[in-house]
Structure 1
Amino acid sequence: MCPSLVNGAPAGRAYIIMYLKDKNYFNPPRAAPYLVKIFPKISFSLTWGIMFGKLQHIARSPAIANLLKKGFRMPDTLTTIRNALDSLRNSEKKVAKCVLADPSAAINYSITELAEKAGTSEATVVRFCRSLGLAGYLELRLNLAREMPSAQPIFENVSAADSVAEITGKILSAHKEALSNALHKLNLDDLEQAVKLLAAARSIDFYGVGGSAIVAKDAHHKFFRLGIPCAAYDDPHMQVMSAAQLSAGCVVVAISHTGSTKDIIESARIARGAGAKIIGVVGKNNSPLARVCDLVLSVHSQEAALLLAPMTSRLVQLAIIDVLFVAVAMQDFEGIKDRLDRVKRSLVEKRY
């Protein structure tokens, strides 16, 4: 089986190499897309362990080692999509054609936007990505950003030839533009409603993971000074445990630039089921997270740093948290003025 697979169809060889390049390829669940492609006619009566064992045997074979030594190159993502068109389901073909028609735009689409553009569902987009041997939609976006000649995956128009002064100017200008756009595009009615919910809340939970976790912690660092019981959770297990204990009168602020983070969406769904109100701080109204929120604060910013840590989106999120904090404080400033003063005085002995 090994020689025929390795020396056979280029697609089979490609998926074996892709499998080898996967950092988690010794994890059986991660092998699923590759098993389907490498063993398209394998009997599913075989146990998972036997199939995984066969794949491990191929991965360690001399023929594969020879391919790697010769510098075997994986086809780029767009070529892979074109080659796979005939084997895709009709619904997946719609996604493929949408990506091929405008790959630069696809880099910036949320999974919901791509699904709507293609006239399919988010689940179909995920199946399409897995049909290509990818872990999910984020991996597709990352691959496209890396391969598109016109894309700037590091940061907008920053190039390797730029001086430190030029990089500084470009990044700070992008941040300034993002904050200005947020000011003009933010729905002030929704913002006012969010302030009322937070001011009346019995407790507030802030949820965020990854880059948004920093924003959640900053929100807790501010809001607890107002005397409102609050907490920030960046661990998905802690989020769902806390969410399950909430009730009417509680508020959750779910923070996610993409609005596609599974853990945040699940935590928000559980909290809403328990009776809490959900405020989403998202990059786009049209996102999976937005659909489980009672109120959505869309703070769109073009996150240019696809391959680096979040930059512009994080700054805009932090700015919105500042606005919410100050606005809630102003709802009853006379009542909390003494509390804020005591907080400040408690820090006097901590500083020189």
Structure 2
Amino acid sequence: MTDHLTEPPLGGMRAYLQSLMPSLVPSEQRVVRLCIDNPQLVSESSVAELAGHAQTSPATVVRACKSLGLEGFQHLRQILLRDLGAAAWDAARDTELEGLGPGDARHPVTTLFARAAHEIRNALGALDYAAFDAAVASIRSAGRLLVVGNGASLPPAQSIALRFLGSGRVCEAPADVVSQHVAAALLGPGDVCLAVSDSGMNLFTLEAARAAARNGATLIGVTSYGKSALAEISTHALVAGAEFHSFNDETVVGNIVQMLLLSALHTAFGASSAEAAAAKADVLRVVYGMVERAEPPVHE
């Protein structure tokens, strides 16, 4: 399993906290919830004051910081203060841009896209970039590549498999769970299983992922939560997107970050690759040929 970053990038602390909070005990979750909901309060508090706000003990506050991979409470405060400054700068810039684009800012379409754009900017707080680079290298050198996903994660998994095929990276992406499990069980050392699960807890996806890992294949897990079952068993855990779950009860946005992360994985795979460029050109020729054959005849 890939270790988590102990200090997320600028503006990424909220996403980092969201990705790890489900793995904490309830008393630690209350501390983290305050950090997410009121970082200003936390940054201005002492350990004892934060413990009072969270209705827990100072020792629990310190344990929560350690569970997050931080050095302690002062380390937590420093990162929160850093991100508060970045957020203030972003807010000032957004205010300057208000009213410059088309559409009413109160319209549901504008509101949803604005919120999604804001969250996407901060979604990489939990991503381990070293794990991402290692995942790309594994895919490049893999003997076989299997992509698995189920439920709401099936469309992103199928989509990225098609893109890999279009870049010359032959892969398998069966849609049914039995075929996924059989294909995973046939993987071995030197092969790669790319498993996509937003929650990291889908039982069907986990079965295939565990089968691949048992046989020595490299397991790349794409999930929103840093200590989910999928992240725990992955050779390379790519964690991003938990922040979207703060408002996805009413909107279908949970897989946006996963799709973007998978697209980045595919882009990095094909970067500076003559083989990938040639494969894309071949695919385009095939697609153009299909389109030409599908065009209806012109009647005079």
Secondary structure of 2:227 counterpart: coil
Q: For 1:179 and 1:246, how far apart are their aligned partners in 2? A: 34
Deviation at 1:334, TM superposition (A): 1.7
Work out the percentage of aligned pairs sharing the same amino acid: 23
Deviation at 1:335, TM superposition (A): 2.6
Cross-structure match for 2:209: 268
Q: For 1:185 and 1:247, how far apart are their aligned partners in 2? A: 29
Secondary structure of 1:316 counterpart: helix
Deviation at 1:115, TM superposition (A): 5.8
Secondary structure of 2:260 counterpart: helix
Q: Which amino acid aligns with 1:268?
A: A
Cross-structure match for 2:122: 181
Q: For 2:260 and 2:173, how far apart are their aligned partners in 1? A: 17
Q: For 1:269 and 1:244, how far apart are their aligned partners in 2? A: 9
Q: Which amino acid aligns with 2:151?
A: G
Deviation at 1:235, TM superposition (A): 2.3
Tell me which of 249, 268, 285 is aligned to 2:226.
Answer: 285
Cross-structure match for 2:245: 303
1:199 aligns with 2:140: yes
Tell me which of 270, 282, 291 is aligned to 1:342.
Answer: 282
Q: For 1:214 and 1:196, how far apart are their aligned partners in 2? A: 24
Secondary structure of 1:327 counterpart: helix
Using structure 1 for the length normalisation, give the TM-score: 0.52
Cross-structure match for 1:70: none
Tell me which of 271, 279, 292 is aligned to 1:330.
Answer: 271
CA 1:183–1:114: 2 relative to 1, 3 Å: closer
Structure 2 contact 195–219 (Cα < 8 Å) conserved: yes
Cross-structure match for 1:225: 166
Q: Which amino acid aligns with 2:194?
A: V
1:83-127 per-residue CA deviation (whole Å, 9 max, x = no partner) reads xxxxxxxxxxxxxxxxxxxxxxxxx988x85563148xxxxxxxx
State which structure, 1 or 2, has the greater radius of gyration over its C-alpha atoms.
1
1:84-163 equivalences under 5 Å are 113-114=21-22, 116-118=24-26
Deviation at 1:179, TM superposition (A): 1.8
Tell me which of 132, 139, 151 is aligned to 1:210.
Answer: 151
Deviating more after overlay: 289-298 vs 334-343: 334-343
CA 1:242–1:310: 2 relative to 1, 3 Å: farther
Cross-structure match for 2:178: 237
Deviation at 1:298, TM superposition (A): 0.6
Structure 2 contact 167–277 (Cα < 8 Å) conserved: no
Cross-structure match for 2:60: none
Q: For 1:309 and 1:172, how far apart are their aligned partners in 2? A: 11
Structure 2 contact 220–235 (Cα < 8 Å) conserved: yes
Structure 1 residue ranges, 4+ long, deviating more than 3 angstroms after superposition = 112-116, 304-310
Structure 2 contact 131–237 (Cα < 8 Å) conserved: yes
Q: Which amino acid aligns with 2:257?
A: V
CA 1:304–1:247: 2 relative to 1, 3 Å: same
CA 1:233–1:304: 2 relative to 1, 3 Å: farther
Deviation at 1:319, TM superposition (A): 0.8
1:253 aligns with 2:194: yes
Q: For 1:294 and 1:263, how far apart are their aligned partners in 2? A: 19
Q: For 1:299 and 1:340, how far apart are their aligned partners in 2? A: 28
Q: Which amino acid aligns with 1:342?
A: D
Q: Which amino acid aligns with 1:341?
A: A
Structure 1 contact 259–284 (Cα < 8 Å) conserved: yes
Secondary structure of 1:228 counterpart: coil
Structure 2 contact 105–111 (Cα < 8 Å) conserved: no
1:318-345 per-residue CA deviation (whole Å, 9 max, x = no partner) reads 11111111111115x2233222211111
Q: Which amino acid aligns with 1:186?
A: L
Structure 2 contact 188–217 (Cα < 8 Å) conserved: yes
Structure 2 contact 220–238 (Cα < 8 Å) conserved: yes
CA 1:223–1:114: 2 relative to 1, 3 Å: closer
Structure 2 stretches lacking a partner, 5+ long: 1-16, 28-103, 296-300
Q: Which amino acid aligns with 1:263?
A: F
Q: For 2:119 and 2:173, how far apart are their aligned partners in 1? A: 25
Q: For 2:137 and 2:152, how far apart are their aligned partners in 1? A: 27
1:309-324 equivalences under 5 Å are 310-311=252-253, 313-324=254-265
Structure 2 contact 125–240 (Cα < 8 Å) conserved: no
Deviation at 1:282, TM superposition (A): 0.6
Using structure 2 for the length normalisation, give the TM-score: 0.60
Q: For 1:114 and 1:320, how far apart are their aligned partners in 2? A: 21
1:147-184 per-residue CA deviation (whole Å, 9 max, x = no partner) reads xxxxxxxxxxxxxxxx9952112210122122211345
Cross-structure match for 1:133: none
Deviation at 1:249, TM superposition (A): 1.2
